[in-house]
Amino acid sequence: MKDQARSAWALVLLLLAACSGSNSPNADGGATTGGDGAPGGSTYDVTVTRTEMGIPHIKAADWGSLGYGYGYAFAEDNLCVFLDDLVTIRGERSRYFGPDGSYSIPAVPVTANNVDSDFFWKLMATDDVVAQLKASARDEVRQITTGYVAGFNRYIRELQAGEHPGRHATCADAGYLQPITEDDMYRRYFRLSIIASSSVFTNEIAQATPPLLSPADASSSASTDDVAEPDTAAARAALLAHPGPFAAFGPDKRLGSNMYGLGPDATQTGQSMLFGNPHFPWTGTERLYIVHLEVPGKMNIMGASLYGVPLVLIGFNDKLAWSHTVSTAYRFTLYELPVNPLNAKQYFYDGQLTDVTPVPLTIDVKQDDGSIAQQSRTLYRTQYGPVLELTISGIPVLGWDNLRMYTLRDANAENDRLMNQFFAWDTAPDLTTFKADHASILGVPWVNTVATGPGQDAYYGDLSVVPNVPDDLVSRCKAPLLSPVIASVAPGLPLLLGNRTDCQWLNDADAPAGIFGAEHLPTLERSDWVANMNDSYWLTNPAEPLTGYARIIGDEATARTLRTRLGIRQIQQRLDGSDGLAGTKFSYDDLKQIVLGSRIYSAELAQADVLADLCGGSGTDEVCAALANWNGTANLDATGTQSWIEFWQRVKGLSNLWNTPFSADDPVNTPNTLNTANRQVAQALSDAQTALDEAGIAADAPFGSVQHSGVHGDNGPSIFGSEGTIGAFTVADSEGLTDQGYLVDFGNSYIQAVTWENGAVHAEGFITYSESTDPANPHYVDYTERYSAKNWLRFPFTDSQISADAQSTVELSE
């Protein structure tokens, strides 16, 4: 009743506002336009119906109104988190929060202090970048963006007028609670494009400084004699101990996902099925948000978006469904440039000296007394992109001295097609068009894609933005000293010589300049299944390995992660009937049960060996007793899960962990057989007992009492699942064991299981952390509680389903 009363009162206020004839200002201060034009003389006219768990269904007659409804609904739920991100990418954190705070992109992860963050974004997200993105955007995308800004700003005006008391306490009185602009939105699109590339090097770019030596004070020999060649052994050791930004590309990276595409041959009904499950942060703007967008006759799509993106990025309708996982392909290359020894701000290119481009920047910095002072810094760019410096533990790994400098070229910093790609997919009439758009637009920034449609084959493609750097180019152009050093922590990432024309990226006829075309990127279609769990394309289906692609895209014939292996085994066991379920094909209920089963593959491989060979030693009685009664899962009723987690975290990186090594002839089942003779393995069991004792956590406590949401305050809902590095397919990640147990802040996020019945879509799923980040919002924790109970929600899609499940309906016009 409270929601109904609130909705009724909101409707009265909205109708009064509409009667006033007010218009929302756009970025230039003028009135917004609705593109196709909304009915009744209004610029915008849209219906927002919220169904169970607060999911907004946004229906409009034109693109501008669609964006308006989305902007307003999203602001209701997540105003402060999004504004915080916009402050960041404008380069204004120091202005509002002072110089001493920091900003993190947990998806990568990277953390920079406010000052370095501001200088980085001032350098990267420039007005020229915004102008290029606007100019390249489809007209429909521009209209949706304009409308989104107007709807978001309407909610800000209402909040400032006192219409939503108690909401958004974090920012309701903040100085940055101001209208957003269209430029803000395009900067947001840009930030998402470069999250897996330039953003990783925020600190290294923001702190890059030329050596002090200048032409005026240089002697004829001091600049060369006083600078030594890099100590590659020390650099390698430093990186292996502390990978720094390269941790974003390592096997233990947190950003990931699972997805299955099941074709007709793999299902009991003969209808295709799709499972999608990004593993993303539970904090910040890389959270996902469930939404349904409809412009009748033009778009009808439901699914999830990252915050601030007014299109569906993973979704479904009656004609198709798709999902994504983070790809192994690199989106950039590093370049080594020889510098003029008498002027380190010049580098050699084809034998000629070329000046770096200085970029003077100034930011506002809040002082202790509240006043604003300015701070300036000059950063530098080359023909490839920004100059960077990387120092690890005091060792200059990629230094800027009087011999060389380092820079990067980022293909996604040049990608102006992201929003066009997803608009095309959101409006695709069928799977055939979807696949054609994938190959022709090439705007997907950093993810693999799996898609299918009713009764159609399962499709996989890593048709994403990848620098056109074939292996032979890398062979002839790799920097000889430091390429092996970088390869030790980022295998496959090219460090190229940047002083030669023949080392520039190549061009394909079927692609934008500098990136691979579809002909050189991996795809696979099968009538049984395809899958990806963040390893490379190679084992999309082990029956048909994909090979022959450039190393920058991914590795081949190498060991897969435990999560990948379990993901494949779950499909294989379902199709050979060895998983204990009925039949030898997937039912829809089978799919839902399997993907949230919370199996731990490392335990399936090694639990018996631990109990047989390692238990009985001193200091392990409690852990061993717990493991003896443990069912090998991370379900809430499992007893002993935490004992295995603490053990496996201590052995997972050991050399000689397995007695049977990896074999490319049996990649799903190898390596295997735990090497219990390794003394470090035995010690890890004792250390696990110590860690649990110190945290005050019982070795055999039910897992539901040990692991909780870490984003919902004290006593957040219990969360099942565990980390992918221990072989969990159902992922729940934390910062490690505390005296409160594991506090989940990363992992399963948006989940969709999709099939079709009688030509209509049937989709169920979750948003694990709920739709809203505002504790005062009724949808702050409700979906998390539902997820904890594994209580799948049928997503209403048709008008009749939405009407039957409607919790509130608001007509917005302006």
Q: What string of DSSP letters covers 92-121?
A: -HHHHH-SS-EEEETTTTEEEEHHHHHHHH
CATH class held by domain 2-204: mainly alpha
Least confident window among 249-253, 570-574, 757-761 = 249-253
What is the predicted pLDDT for the residue at 228?
Answer: 63
- What are the tens digits of pLDDT across the range 221-245? 433 444 567 789 999 999 999 999 9
Q: Residue 213's pLDDT is what?
A: 58
pLDDT for the residue numbered 481: 94
Distance CA 392, CA 398 (A): 9
pLDDT band at 251 (very low <50, low <70, confident <90, very high): confident
The pLDDT of residue 32: 37
Give backbone dihedrals phi and psi of 742, rounded to 5 degrees, phi first.
Answer: -100, 125
- Pairing relation of β-strands 404-410 and 658-660? unpaired
CATH architecture of the domain covering 205-250+331-413+473-501: Roll (2.30)
| Residue tagged 């990226």 (tokens) | 505
| Eight-state DSSP code of residue 505 | -
Tell me what pLDDT residue 718 has: 98
The b/e string for 503-532 (b: 16+ C-beta within 10 A; e otherwise) is: bbbeebeebbebbbbbebbbbbbbebbbbb
DSSP category for residue 324: E
Q: For the chain, which residues make up each domain, given as ranges? A: 2-204, 205-250+331-413+473-501, 598-728
Percentage of residues of the chain with pLDDT beyond 70: 93
pLDDT confidence of 377, banded at 50, 70, 90? very high
The amino acid sitting at 513 is A
pLDDT value for 668: 98
Average pLDDT value for the chain: 93
Measured distance CA(320)–CA(306) in Å, rounded = 20
179 exposure class (CB count in 10 Å sphere: 0-12, 13-18, 19+): middle
Q: Where are the beta strands (DSSP E) in 177-272?
A: 256-262
Q: What is the pLDDT of residue 3?
A: 43
Q: Say what percent of the chain tops pLDDT 90.
A: 90
Q: What is the mean pLDDT of residues 194-199?
A: 97
User: Residue 318: which of 794, 798, 751 has the closest Cα?
Assistant: 798
- Confidence at 108, pLDDT banded by 50, 70, 90: confident
**Under 8 Å between Cβ of 95 and 363:** yes
Distance in angstroms (rounded) separating the CA atoms of residues 553 and 535: 11
Q: Reply yes or no on domain 598-728 having CATH 1.10.1400.10.
A: yes
pLDDT of residue 23: 36
Q: What is the pLDDT of residues 424-449, one digit of tens each?
A: 999 999 999 999 999 999 999 999 99
The two three-digit tokens of residue 306, written as one number: 């990252």
Tokens (6 digits) for 2:
């409270």
Token pair recorded at residue 660: 């049977």
Query: Can you read off the two tokens belonging to residue 444?
Result: 């997907």
Residue range 75-84: mean pLDDT, rounded: 98
pLDDT recorded at residue 35: 41
**Cβ-contact 39, 14 below 8 angstroms:** no
Q: Which residue has the tokens 């930030």?
A: 191
DSSP state of 722: B
Phi-psi region of 322 (alpha: psi -120 to 50; beta: other; left: phi over 0): beta
Cβ atoms of 210 and 358 within 8 Å: the answer is no
What's the distance, CA 739 to chain centroid? Answer: 29
Average pLDDT over residues 352-380: 98
Q: DSSP H helical segments within 194-273, as ranges?
A: 202-206, 222-225, 232-241
3-class SS of residue 296:
coil
Helix or strand holding residue 366 (H, E): strand 357-366
Of 10, 23, 304, give the one whose Cα is nearest residue 146.
23
Convert the pLDDT of each residue in 771-796 to its tens digit.
999 999 999 999 999 999 999 999 99
Q: What pLDDT shows up at residue 40?
A: 55
The per-residue pLDDT for 690 is 96
- As a dihedral over the C-alpha atoms of residue 524, residue 528, residue 532, residue 533, rounded to 10 degrees, the angle is -170
Handedness of CA 704, 709, 712, 713 (dihedral sign): positive
Residue 114 has pLDDT above 60, yes or no: yes
- The three-state secondary structure class of 180 is coil
Residue 37 has pLDDT above 90, yes or no: no
CA distance linking residue 793 with residue 786, whole number of Å: 8
CA 703 vs CA 145, 508, 642, 717, 790: distances in Å: 44, 52, 7, 12, 15
Q: Among all residues, which ones are annotated catalytic? A: 257
Strand-pairing partners, residue 743, are 708
CA distance 623 to 630: 10
pLDDT of residue 41: 64
- Give the Cα separation of 547 and 561 in Å (integer): 18
The single-letter code of the amino acid at 761 is: V
CA distance 247 to 239: 9
Look at the chain and count its residues.
814
The confidence band for 616, taking pLDDT boundaries of 50, 70 and 90, is confident
What are phi and psi for residue 34, nearest 5 degrees? -95, 15
Torsion from C-alpha of 341, 342, 345, 351, nearest 10 degrees = -60
For residues 67 and 55, what is the distance between their CA atoms, to the nearest angstrom? 16
Instruction: Specify which residues 337 forms β-bridges with.
Output: 405
